[in-house]
């Protein structure tokens, strides 16, 4: 097995654009959740979300690219650009590839286009509509601009898409198909169509009057998740390749897990069988003891079943050697396909800085989740060597990534 290292990171999030800004705000306990600004939500039961703030695409992208891309593609491109710049990578086209992770691709563009078409007297849809909604075009735009000709896949495994993008990128490297892989996750699903469906499924928080405290992972008063949006990117390469070019190494991918519950399309397995198997698989691949992991960035969406099942699963895997656990979704909301990447970045930064980011809005731990230190409201200091990122999605999709200090 080749040793795979991380040499670049990029992030676009509701609490800041750029990894440094994201990390500063996530560790200080800032909330990125507010009343929706991108459209009028006043007629909706749910009117809050974690939107990317003060985002003007023209500050980052050329006009032609803005016209032909959905926001999720823009977030992917900007985060990839930051990661590539940080890595100082000189791209070898045929030995460099991209894995893109997204849950719902351009669904907001689909919804708003159909709405405009239905109410228009002249039925016309622009020629850019199809490439704006396809998940793989996010990666294609990056590949075209950076001349990346190696493996290219788009992974859509619901909310574990970002974690699975990392796993798939590692598999490409281990198979010898590339020396360097760009793993990206991005999402922007904010539109009435998605909100109506999730609200009717009773999956979303309805705390419209207090947005900043609406996302409450592991709290006894939690009432559902808050939709977030954004993008994240990692440059992964073999240790040999990174050292040969004198790259700065930010951490190592130690192990990846991927399992399916085979139970229900939306609910987790009540005994957490898939989640447990996924964590154990990643730990086994990492070749470490569970007790060596010092921090878990939990999936922790603030849904009743999800948080309870994940808590019990962690306790079953780690026993009396429980690490710190926190959910940054209290601050960002649920970024879906982007979360698996940005939350892995969170793990890397926790290892680098010795700071464990908090679970904000956690006043009273649900008794069903009790027994774990969720780092409530205030960051903690801890020197850790390994950290784990969990991402669990609809369909019983489970992803687990373990990163380590290099």
pLDDT, position 124? 83
Which positions are annotated as active-site residues? 159, 299, 334
pLDDT, position 120? 79
**Pairwise CA distance, residues 332 & 329, whole Å:** 5
Each residue's pLDDT tens digit, 81-128: 999 999 999 999 999 999 999 999 999 999 999 999 998 777 788 899
The full 3-state SS of the chain, as one line of letters, equals CCCEEEEEEEEEECCEECHHHHHHHHHHCCCCCEECCCCCCCCCCCCEEECCCCCCHHHCCCHHHHHCCCHHHHHHHHHHHHHHHHHCCCCCHHHEEEEEECCCCCHHHHHHHHHHHHHCCCCCCCCCHHHHHCCHHHHHHHHHHHCCCCCEEEECCHHHHHHHHHHHHHHHHHCCCCCEEEEEEEECCCCHHHHHHHHHCCCECCCCCCHHHCCCCCECCCCCECEECEEEEEEEEEHHHHHHCCCCCCEEEEEEEEEECCCCCCCCCCCCHHHHHHHHHHHHHHCCCHHHEEEEECCCCCCHHHHHHHHHHHHHHHCCCCCEEECCHHHHCECHHHHHHHHHHHHHHHHHHCEECCECCCCCECHHHCCCCCCECCCEECCCCEEEEEEEECCCEEEEEEEECC
Q: Which band of pLDDT confidence, cut at 50, 70 and 90, is reported for residue 191?
A: very high
Each residue's pLDDT tens digit, 222-276: 999 999 999 999 999 999 999 999 999 999 999 999 999 999 999 999 999 999 9
Each residue's pLDDT tens digit, 273-319: 999 999 999 999 999 999 999 999 999 999 999 999 999 999 999 99
State mean pLDDT over 150-162.
98
pLDDT, position 255? 98
Does the pTM exceed 0.85?
Answer: yes
**Pairwise CA distance, residues 323 & 295, whole Å:** 5
Q: Which residues contact 212 (CB under 8 A, 6 or more apart)?
A: 31, 33, 34
Q: What domains lie within the chain, and their CATH numbers?
A: 1-393 (3.40.47.10)
**The two three-digit tokens of residue 307, written as one number:** 């948080």
State mean pLDDT over 49-53.
97
**Pairwise CA distance, residues 396 & 58, whole Å:** 38
CA distances from 71 to 2, 6, 66, 108, 185 (A): 35, 26, 8, 9, 13
pLDDT, position 370? 97
């Amino acid at each position: 097995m080749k040793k795979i290292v991380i040499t670049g990171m990029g992030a676009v999030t509701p609490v800041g654009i750029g990894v440094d800004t994201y990390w500063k705000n996530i560790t200080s306990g800032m909330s990125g959740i507010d009343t929706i600004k991108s459209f009028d939500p006043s007629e909706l039961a749910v009117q809050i979300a974690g939107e990317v703030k003060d985002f003007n695409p023209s500050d980052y992208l050329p006009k032609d690219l803005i016209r032909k891309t959905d926001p999720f593609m823009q977030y992917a491109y900007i985060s990839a650009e930051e990661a590539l710049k940080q890595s100082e990578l000189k791209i070898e086209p045929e030995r460099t590839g991209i894995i893109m992770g997204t849950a719902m691709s351009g669904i907001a563009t689909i919804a708003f286009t159909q709405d405009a078409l239905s109410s228009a007297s002249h039925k016309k849809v622009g020629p850019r509509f199809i490439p704006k909604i396809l998940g793989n075009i996010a990666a294609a735009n990056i590949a075209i601009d950076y001349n990346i000709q190696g493996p290219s896949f788009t992974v859509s495994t619901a909310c574990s898409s970002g974690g699975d993008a990392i796993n798939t990128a590692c598999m490409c490297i281990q198979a010898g198909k590339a020396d360097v892989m760009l793993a990206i996750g991005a999402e922007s699903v904010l539109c009435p169509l998605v909100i109506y469906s999730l609200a009717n499924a009773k999956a979303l928080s309805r705390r419209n009057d207090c947005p900043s405290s609406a996302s409450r992972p592991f709290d006894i008063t939690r009432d559902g998740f808050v939709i977030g949006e954004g993008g994240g990117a990692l440059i992964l390469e073999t240790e040999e390749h990174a050292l040969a070019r004198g790259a700065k190494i930010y951490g190592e991918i130690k192990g990846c897990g991927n399992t399916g519950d085979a139970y229900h399309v939306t609910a987790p397995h009540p005994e957490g069988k898939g989640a447990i198997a996924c964590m154990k698989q990643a730990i086994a691949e990492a070749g470490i003891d569970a007790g060596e992991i010092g921090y878990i960035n939990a999936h922790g969406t603030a849904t009743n079943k999800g948080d309870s099942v994940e808590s019990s699963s962690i306790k079953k895997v780690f026993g009396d050697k429980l690490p710190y656990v926190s959910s940054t979704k209290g601050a960002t909301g649920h970024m879906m396909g982007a979360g698996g990447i940005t939350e892995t970045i969170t793990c890397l930064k926790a290892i680098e800085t010795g700071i464990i980011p908090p679970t904000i809005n956690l006043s009273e731990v649900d008794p069903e989740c009790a027994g774990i230190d969720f780092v409530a409201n205030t960051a903690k200091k801890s020197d850790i060597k390994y950290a784990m990122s969990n991402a669990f999605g609809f369909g019983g999709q489970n992803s687990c990534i373990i990163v380590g200090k290099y």
